[in-house]
Amino acid sequence: MFLEINPLVLPDVGLVFWSSVAFIVLLVVLGKFAWKPIMTAISEREQGIETALAKADQMKAEMATMQGETEALMQKAREERATLIKEAKEQSDKMIADAKEKAKSEYDRIVADAQLAITQQKNAALIDVKNQVGALVVEVSEKILRRELSNKTEQESYIQQLAEGVKLN
Amino acid sequence: MVLRSLKSLLVLAFSLFVILFSNGLFANDSTKTTMEESPAGLHEEKEGSFNVTETILEHIKDDHSWHIIGHTSIPLPVIIYTDKGLEFFSSSKLVNEHHEPVVYQGNYAYKLIDGKLKAVNEAGELDKELSKKVWDFSITKNVASLLISVTILLLLFLSVGSAYKKRGVTSAPKGLQSFMEPIILFVRDEVAKPNIGKKYAKYMPFLLTIFFLILINNFLGLIPFFPGSANVSGNIAFTMTLAVFVFILVNINGNKSYWQHIFWMPGMHWSMKLFLAPIELIGVFTKPISLMIRLFANITAGHILVLSLICLIFIFKTIFASAIAVPFAVFIGLIELLVAFLQAYIFTMLSAMYIGMATEEHHHEEAHH
Per residue in B130-165, pLDDT (tens digit) is 888 888 888 888 999 999 999 999 999 999 988 888
Categorize the per-residue pLDDT at A79 as very low, low, confident or very high, splitting at 50, 70 and 90.
very high
Choose from A153-157, B2-6, B316-320, B349-353 the range with maximum mean pLDDT: B349-353
Question: What's the distance, Cα to Cα, between the start and end of chain A in Å?
Answer: 175
Tell me the nearest-neighbour CA distance from B146 into chain A, angstroms: 7
pLDDT (tens digit per residue) in B55-112: 888 888 888 888 887 778 888 888 888 888 888 888 888 888 777 888 888 878 888 8
Does residue B169 sit at the A interface (CB-CB below 8 Å)?
yes
Phi, psi of A142 (to 5 degrees): -55, -50
User: CB of B323 within 8 A of CB of B16?
Assistant: no
Give the closest residue to B119 by CA, choosing from B67, B84, B76, B75: B84
DSSP element (H, E) containing A147: helix A36-147
How distant is the alpha carbon of residue B129 from its chain centre?
A: 30
pLDDT for res A88: 94
Q: Does B126 touch chain A (CB under 8 A)?
A: no
Among B285, B302, B332, B159, which residue's Cα sits nearest to residue B217?
B302
Span A8-24, pLDDT tens digits: 778 888 899 999 999 99
Q: SS3 for B78?
A: strand
Residues 6 or more apart whose Cβ sits within 8 Å of residue A78: none
pLDDT in tens, B212-237: 999 999 999 988 887 777 889 989 99
With cut-offs at 50, 70 and 90, classify the pLDDT of residue A98: very high
pLDDT digits (tens, 9 = 90+) for B168-207: 777 777 788 888 989 999 999 999 999 998 888 889 999 9
Q: Do B240 and A11 touch (CB under 8 A)?
A: yes
Which residues neighbour B38 within 8 Å (Cβ) at sequence distance 6 or greater?
Answer: B45
Taking CA atoms, what residue in B is nearest to A31? B205
ipTM entry = 0.80
Closest CA to B63 of B32, B107, B101, B96: B101
Task: Give CA–CA dist A78/A84, Å, rounded.
Answer: 10
- Give how far Cα B105 sits from Cα of A11, A31, B122, Å: 26, 43, 10
SS3 state of residue A161:
helix
Separation between Cα atoms, residue B24 and residue B51, nearest integer Å: 11
Residues contacting B211, CB < 8 A, separation 6+ = B187, B191, B344, B345, B347, B348
Residues of chain A found within 8 Å of residue B300, distances taken between Cβ atoms: 8
- Sequence spans of domains, chain A: 2-168
**Contact residues on chain B for A36, CB-CB shorter than 8 A:** 161, 205
- From chain B residues 213-252, the ones with a CB under 8 A of any chain A CB are 213, 235-238, 240-242, 245
The pLDDT value given to residue A24: 94
CA A47 to chain centre: 53
Read off the DSSP letter of residue B172: P
Phi, psi of B77 (to 5 degrees): -70, 140
DSSP secondary-structure letter at B171?
S
